[in-house]
Amino acid sequence: MMNSTLLLAFLSFGALLLYRLSVSFNRQRPPLPPGPKGLPLIGNLWDVPRAEDYPWRTFARWATTYGDILYLDIPGNPTVVINSAKAAIDLFEKRSGNYSDRPDFTMLKLTGWGFNMAFVRYSDWWRMHRRMFHQHFQPRALPAYYPVQMKATLVLLQQLHKSPDAFVHHVRHHAGSTIMKIVYGYDVDPNGDRFVELVDRALESVRIVGNVGAFLVDYFPILKYLPRWLPGAEFIRLAQAWRKDVDDMSEEPFEYTRESMAKGLAPPSFVSENLTKMQKTEVADTPTHLEIIRNTAGVAFAAGADTTVIVVLSAMLAFLLYPEVQAKAQAELDAVVGYGNRLPNFDDRPQLPYIDAIVLEAMRWNSVVPLGIAHRTVKEDVYRGYYIPAGATIIGNAWAMLHDEKDYPNPLVFDPDRFMPRDGKEREPEPTVAFGFGRRICPGRYIALNTAWIAIASMVSTLSFTKAVDSEGRIVEPSETFTSAFLSFPVPFKCTIKTRSPQTQALLD
Concatenated DSSP letters for 334-347? Answer: HHHT-SSS----GG
Contact 108, 119 (CB under 8 A): yes
pLDDT at 163: 95
pLDDT at 5: 42
> 276 in helix, strand or coil?
helix
Pairing of strands 463-467, 495-499: antiparallel
| Total-model pTM | 0.91
Contacts of 400 (CB under 8 A, 6+ apart): 56, 59, 60, 63, 83, 84
51 vs 67 pLDDT, higher one: 67
Give residue-wise pLDDT tens across range 77-133.
Answer: 899 999 999 999 999 999 999 999 999 999 999 999 999 999 999 999 999 999 999
pLDDT class of 10 with cuts at 50, 70, 90: very low
Alpha helix (H) ranges present in 163-266?
Answer: 167-184, 194-209, 234-262
> Is residue 25 pLDDT above 70, yes or no?
no
pLDDT at 137: 93
pLDDT class of 284 with cuts at 50, 70, 90: low
3 vs 398 pLDDT, higher one: 398
Exposure letters 179-205 (e unless 16+ CB within 10 A, then b) = bbbbbbbbebebeebebbebbbebbeb
Q: Measured between alpha carbons, how far is 448 from 439 in angstroms, rounded to an integer?
A: 18
> Is residue 198 pLDDT above 90, yes or no?
no
Ligand-binding site membership of 442 (annotated): yes
107 vs 10 pLDDT, higher one: 107
Q: What percent of the chain has pLDDT over 90?
A: 70
pLDDT at 478: 95
* Top mean-pLDDT range of 24-28, 256-260, 300-304, 470-474: 256-260
> Is residue 268 pLDDT above 50, yes or no?
yes
Q: What is the mean pLDDT of the chain?
A: 90
> Is residue 6 pLDDT above 80, yes or no?
no
pLDDT at 364: 97
Give residue-wise pLDDT tens across range 331-385.
Answer: 999 999 988 889 999 999 999 999 999 999 999 999 999 999 999 999 999 999 9
> SS in 3 state form for 78-132?
CEEEECCHHHHHHHHHCCHHHHCECCCCHHHHHCCHHHCCCCCCCCHHHHHHHHH
Instruction: Provide the residue type at 208 as one letter.
Output: I
Give residue-wise pLDDT tens across range 425-465.
Answer: 788 899 999 999 999 999 999 999 999 999 999 999 999 99
pLDDT at 155: 95
Give residue-wise pLDDT tens across range 222-257.
Answer: 888 888 777 778 889 889 999 999 999 999 999 999
pLDDT at 421: 85
Q: What is the number of other CB atoms lying within 10 angstroms of the CB of residue 141?
A: 13
Give residue-wise pLDDT tens across range 164-195.
Answer: 999 999 999 999 999 999 999 999 887 778 88
pLDDT class of 12 with cuts at 50, 70, 90: low
Q: Measured between alpha carbons, how far is 368 from 345 in angstroms, rounded to an integer?
A: 25
pLDDT class of 27 with cuts at 50, 70, 90: low
